[in-house]
Amino acid sequence: MESKEFKVIVGLGNPGHQFEYNRHNIGFLVADALIDKYNGSWQKNDLMDYALVNIDGRNILVIKPQTFMNSSGKISLWLKKKGIKGEEVIVVHDDLEKPFGAVSIKEGGSARGHNGVKSLMELFGPNFYRLRCGIGRPEKKSEVADYVLSNFIEGEVLVEDMIQESIKRIEENL
Protein backbone atom coordinates (compact mmCIF):
# COMPACT_ATOMS: atom_id res chain seq x y z
CA MET A 1 0.00 0.00 0.00
CA GLU A 2 1.45 3.37 -0.93
CA SER A 3 1.81 6.05 1.72
CA LYS A 4 -1.47 7.84 2.40
CA GLU A 5 -2.45 10.92 4.34
CA PHE A 6 -4.02 9.16 7.29
CA LYS A 7 -5.51 11.37 9.95
CA VAL A 8 -7.37 8.90 12.16
CA ILE A 9 -6.78 5.46 13.63
CA VAL A 10 -9.88 3.83 15.13
CA GLY A 11 -9.36 0.85 17.41
CA LEU A 12 -12.51 -1.22 17.82
CA GLY A 13 -13.51 -2.85 21.09
CA ASN A 14 -15.93 -2.77 23.98
CA PRO A 15 -15.63 -0.33 26.89
CA GLY A 16 -15.37 -1.64 30.42
CA HIS A 17 -12.81 -3.43 32.54
CA GLN A 18 -14.43 -6.84 31.99
CA PHE A 19 -13.69 -6.65 28.23
CA GLU A 20 -10.12 -5.29 28.36
CA TYR A 21 -8.26 -8.46 27.32
CA ASN A 22 -11.01 -9.97 25.12
CA ARG A 23 -10.18 -11.06 21.59
CA HIS A 24 -12.78 -8.55 20.33
CA ASN A 25 -10.76 -5.76 21.99
CA ILE A 26 -7.53 -6.11 20.03
CA GLY A 27 -8.31 -2.73 18.40
CA PHE A 28 -8.38 -1.07 21.83
CA LEU A 29 -5.15 -2.84 22.82
CA VAL A 30 -3.40 -1.56 19.68
CA ALA A 31 -4.76 1.97 20.24
CA ASP A 32 -3.55 1.94 23.87
CA ALA A 33 -0.09 0.73 22.80
CA LEU A 34 0.13 3.51 20.18
CA ILE A 35 -0.78 6.13 22.76
CA ASP A 36 1.84 4.74 25.16
CA LYS A 37 4.56 4.63 22.48
CA TYR A 38 3.92 8.20 21.31
CA ASN A 39 3.23 9.70 24.75
CA GLY A 40 -0.38 10.62 24.09
CA SER A 41 -3.05 11.01 26.73
CA TRP A 42 -6.66 9.97 26.43
CA GLN A 43 -9.47 12.50 26.54
CA LYS A 44 -13.14 11.53 26.71
CA ASN A 45 -16.48 12.57 25.35
CA ASP A 46 -19.83 10.75 25.21
CA LEU A 47 -18.92 8.79 22.09
CA MET A 48 -15.24 8.01 22.42
CA ASP A 49 -11.89 8.16 24.09
CA TYR A 50 -9.47 10.03 21.81
CA ALA A 51 -5.89 11.25 21.78
CA LEU A 52 -3.72 13.19 19.38
CA VAL A 53 -0.22 11.84 18.79
CA ASN A 54 2.64 12.90 16.55
CA ILE A 55 4.04 10.06 14.46
CA ASP A 56 6.93 11.00 12.20
CA GLY A 57 5.90 14.66 12.19
CA ARG A 58 2.25 13.92 11.45
CA ASN A 59 -0.62 14.57 13.83
CA ILE A 60 -2.76 11.45 14.09
CA LEU A 61 -6.02 11.20 16.02
CA VAL A 62 -6.45 7.83 17.76
CA ILE A 63 -10.01 6.88 18.74
CA LYS A 64 -11.60 4.15 20.85
CA PRO A 65 -15.40 4.29 20.39
CA GLN A 66 -17.18 3.90 23.73
CA THR A 67 -20.51 2.84 22.22
CA PHE A 68 -19.85 -0.93 22.32
CA MET A 69 -18.69 -2.86 19.28
CA ASN A 70 -21.97 -3.23 17.40
CA SER A 71 -22.58 0.54 17.53
CA SER A 72 -19.04 1.68 16.65
CA GLY A 73 -20.41 3.55 13.65
CA LYS A 74 -21.92 6.19 15.93
CA ILE A 75 -18.56 8.02 15.71
CA SER A 76 -19.07 8.44 11.95
CA LEU A 77 -21.07 11.66 12.23
CA TRP A 78 -18.36 13.18 14.42
CA LEU A 79 -15.70 12.17 11.86
CA LYS A 80 -17.74 13.61 8.99
CA LYS A 81 -18.23 16.91 10.86
CA LYS A 82 -14.43 17.11 11.21
CA GLY A 83 -14.10 16.66 7.43
CA ILE A 84 -12.51 13.22 7.75
CA LYS A 85 -12.92 10.99 4.69
CA GLY A 86 -12.91 7.19 4.74
CA GLU A 87 -9.60 6.94 2.91
CA GLU A 88 -8.00 8.93 5.78
CA VAL A 89 -9.01 6.33 8.37
CA ILE A 90 -7.47 3.03 9.49
CA VAL A 91 -9.82 0.84 11.54
CA VAL A 92 -8.06 -1.78 13.70
CA HIS A 93 -10.18 -4.84 14.48
CA ASP A 94 -10.18 -8.55 15.20
CA ASP A 95 -10.61 -11.04 12.36
CA LEU A 96 -11.93 -14.58 12.87
CA GLU A 97 -10.83 -15.65 9.38
CA LYS A 98 -7.14 -15.04 10.02
CA PRO A 99 -4.99 -17.36 12.10
CA PHE A 100 -4.03 -16.04 15.51
CA GLY A 101 -1.35 -13.35 15.23
CA ALA A 102 -1.66 -12.73 11.48
CA VAL A 103 -1.94 -9.02 10.63
CA SER A 104 -2.92 -7.46 7.29
CA ILE A 105 -4.04 -4.09 6.00
CA LYS A 106 -6.23 -3.29 3.01
CA GLU A 107 -8.63 -0.66 1.74
CA GLY A 108 -12.35 -1.25 1.55
CA GLY A 109 -14.09 -4.58 1.22
CA SER A 110 -16.97 -6.16 3.05
CA ALA A 111 -17.56 -6.32 6.79
CA ARG A 112 -17.07 -10.12 6.60
CA GLY A 113 -19.59 -10.58 9.41
CA HIS A 114 -17.85 -8.17 11.80
CA ASN A 115 -20.61 -6.09 13.40
CA GLY A 116 -18.31 -3.23 14.44
CA VAL A 117 -17.04 -2.83 10.87
CA LYS A 118 -20.59 -3.20 9.55
CA SER A 119 -21.77 -0.40 11.85
CA LEU A 120 -19.03 1.91 10.55
CA MET A 121 -19.81 1.02 6.94
CA GLU A 122 -23.53 1.76 7.36
CA LEU A 123 -22.84 5.31 8.51
CA PHE A 124 -19.44 6.12 7.00
CA GLY A 125 -19.33 4.06 3.82
CA PRO A 126 -16.94 1.21 2.94
CA ASN A 127 -13.87 3.18 1.79
CA PHE A 128 -11.71 3.07 4.89
CA TYR A 129 -8.65 0.96 5.55
CA ARG A 130 -8.88 -2.10 7.77
CA LEU A 131 -6.02 -3.43 9.83
CA ARG A 132 -7.15 -6.96 10.52
CA CYS A 133 -5.70 -8.78 13.51
CA GLY A 134 -6.12 -12.55 13.37
CA ILE A 135 -7.71 -14.10 16.44
CA GLY A 136 -8.43 -17.54 14.95
CA ARG A 137 -11.83 -19.18 14.92
CA PRO A 138 -13.60 -21.64 17.21
CA GLU A 139 -14.51 -25.02 15.73
CA LYS A 140 -18.27 -24.45 15.92
CA LYS A 141 -20.03 -21.40 14.47
CA SER A 142 -22.33 -21.41 17.52
CA GLU A 143 -19.30 -20.63 19.71
CA VAL A 144 -18.27 -17.43 17.87
CA ALA A 145 -20.04 -14.92 20.17
CA ASP A 146 -18.53 -16.43 23.32
CA TYR A 147 -15.15 -16.83 21.61
CA VAL A 148 -14.72 -13.17 20.61
CA LEU A 149 -15.76 -12.07 24.10
CA SER A 150 -13.30 -14.47 25.77
CA ASN A 151 -9.86 -13.41 26.92
CA PHE A 152 -6.77 -14.30 24.96
CA ILE A 153 -5.27 -17.59 26.13
CA GLU A 154 -2.30 -17.64 23.73
CA GLY A 155 -0.05 -15.87 26.23
CA GLU A 156 0.96 -12.26 26.75
CA VAL A 157 4.07 -12.54 24.59
CA LEU A 158 2.14 -13.65 21.50
CA VAL A 159 -0.59 -11.05 22.03
CA GLU A 160 2.07 -8.35 22.46
CA ASP A 161 3.78 -9.56 19.26
CA MET A 162 0.50 -9.05 17.37
CA ILE A 163 0.06 -5.58 18.89
CA GLN A 164 3.61 -4.59 17.93
CA GLU A 165 3.19 -5.98 14.39
CA SER A 166 0.00 -3.91 14.09
CA ILE A 167 1.82 -0.75 15.17
CA LYS A 168 4.62 -1.51 12.70
CA ARG A 169 2.06 -1.86 9.88
CA ILE A 170 0.43 1.43 10.84
CA GLU A 171 3.79 3.22 10.93
CA GLU A 172 4.83 1.74 7.56
CA ASN A 173 1.65 2.98 5.93
CA LEU A 174 1.45 6.52 7.27
Distance between CA atoms of residues 34 and 40, nearest Å: 8
* 104/44 Cα distance (integer angstroms): 29
**Which residues does 11 contact at the CB level (< 8 Å), separation at least 6?**
27, 28, 29, 30, 31, 32, 62, 63, 64, 92, 93
Which burial class, exposed, middle or buried, applies to 65 when counting CB atoms under 10 A from its CB (0-12, 13-18, 19+)? Answer: buried
- Summarize pLDDT for 109-118 with one digit per residue, the tens: 887 889 889 9
Whole-number pLDDT of residue 173? 86
Q: How many CB atoms lie within 10 A of CB 29?
A: 24
Choose the catalytic residue: 17, 24, 93, 114. 24
Distance CA 174, CA 106 (A): 13
pTM score, two decimals? 0.94
| 46-56 pLDDT, tens digit each | 999 999 999 98
| 24 catalytic per annotation | yes
Give the per-residue pLDDT at 4.
59
pLDDT at 3 over 70: no
- What tens digit of pLDDT does each residue of 19-46 get? 999 999 999 999 999 999 999 999 999 9
Share of the chain above pLDDT 90, in %: 72
The whole-chain average pLDDT of the chain stands at: 92
* pLDDT on residue 110: 81
Instruction: Determine whether domain 8-173 maps to CATH 3.40.50.12280.
Output: no
The stretch 64-82 carries a mean pLDDT of: 91
Please say if the pLDDT value at position 1 is more than 80.
no
Stronger pLDDT, 39 or 1, i.e. the higher one: 39
Torsion of CA 170, 13, 62, 38, to 10 degrees: -70
